[in-house]
């Protein structure tokens, strides 16, 4: 029989194995801590910059508000009230004259889904010189009106579209079952001349071209190729 006796004054400890395990874990924790500190400092510097920009913009807005208040106070004087009223009327007339029925109807025609049509439209000029449109559409499904609103927003010519009211139609000759009132803000193009017309036509042309390419890609290699019928024998075999 063999008996192992440890005569060492201190128990044996595998220090190398201990540091291999816990040292690696400590290094990983240190790297993660350093990365979090870096992100925190970067975010703090970015937030400080944003606060500085916001403070500068607020100061500019406050300065503009003071100038506007001073100008309105000057225009409110009894001697200037007539000029102020005339300028407001002239500005409203200019805005109304700049409204183009042709562009509005063309933009609506591009985004109008199938089985829905425009019944009435009424433009109104708001206090902030934004052109609000109140339009009435009719169709056989409410989903068509929702699709119309989505396309209006994507066209970047209409904004703040929302449903005002809905009416069910009992019997119509064209199959309409619902009439929906939609409110939106019209965003006119910067140019109103021929260049604006070309810019407005580009999305429609690109969409039509994409559809044509999609149809062409679905054809087989031999589809669409017509060959004239062969009549008679080849020239080389004639005697």
* CATH code for the domain of 171: 3.30.1360.100
For 5-33, write each residue's pLDDT tens digit: 666 666 666 677 777 878 888 889 999 99
Q: Would residue 84 count as lying in a domain?
A: no
Range of the domain at 29: 22-71
Same domain, 103 and 205: yes
First to last CA, the chain: 119
Backbone angles phi, psi at 18, to 5 degrees: -65, -45
Cβ proximity of 121 and 103 under 8 Å: no
Distance, in Å, from the CA atom of 28 to the CA atom of 86, rounded to the nearest integer, reads 74
The mean per-residue pLDDT over the stretch 129-157 comes to 87
Domain count for the chain, please give it: 2
Please, which residues have CB within 8 angstroms of residue 159's CB and are 6 or more apart in sequence? 153, 184, 185, 187
Which pTM value belongs to this model? 0.44
Is residue 67 located within the same domain as residue 123? Answer: no
- Give the mean model confidence (pLDDT) for residues 169-193: 78
Same-domain status, 158 and 202: yes
The tens digit of pLDDT for each residue in 40-98 reads 999 999 999 999 999 999 999 999 999 988 888 887 888 777 777 777 777 666 666 66
What is the DSSP secondary structure assignment for residue 47, as one 8-state letter?
H
Same domain, 67 and 147: no
Residue 219 has pLDDT above 80, yes or no: no
Q: Residue 144: is its pLDDT beyond 90?
A: no
């Amino acid at each position: 029989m063999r008996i192992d006796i440890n005569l060492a004054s201190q128990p044996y400890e595998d220090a190398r194995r201990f540091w291999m395990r816990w040292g690696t874990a400590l290094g990983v924790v240190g790297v993660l801590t350093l990365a979090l500190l870096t992100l925190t400092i970067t975010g703090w510097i970015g937030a400080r910059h944003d606060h500085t920009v916001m403070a500068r913009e607020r100061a500019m807005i406050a300065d503009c508000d003071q100038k506007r208040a001073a100008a309105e106070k000057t225009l409110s004087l009894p001697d200037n009230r007539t000029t102020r009223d005339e300028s407001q009327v002239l500005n409203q007339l200019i805005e109304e004259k700049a409204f183009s029925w042709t562009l509005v109807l063309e933009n609506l025609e591009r985004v109008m889904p199938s089985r829905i049509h425009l019944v009435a439209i009424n433009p109104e000029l708001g206090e902030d010189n934004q052109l609000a449109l109140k339009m009435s559409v009719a169709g056989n499904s409410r989903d068509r009106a929702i699709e119309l609103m989505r396309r209006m927003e994507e066209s970047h010519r209409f904004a703040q579209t929302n449903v005002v009211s809905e009416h069910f139609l009992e019997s119509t000759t064209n199959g309409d079952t619902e009439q929906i009132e939609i409110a939106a803000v019209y965003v006119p193009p910067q140019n109103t001349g021929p260049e604006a017309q070309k810019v407005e036509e580009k999305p429609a042309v690109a969409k039509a071209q994409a559809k044509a390419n999609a149809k062409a890609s679905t054809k087989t290699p031999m589809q669409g190729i017509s060959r004239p019928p062969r009549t008679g024998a080849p020239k080389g075999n004639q005697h």
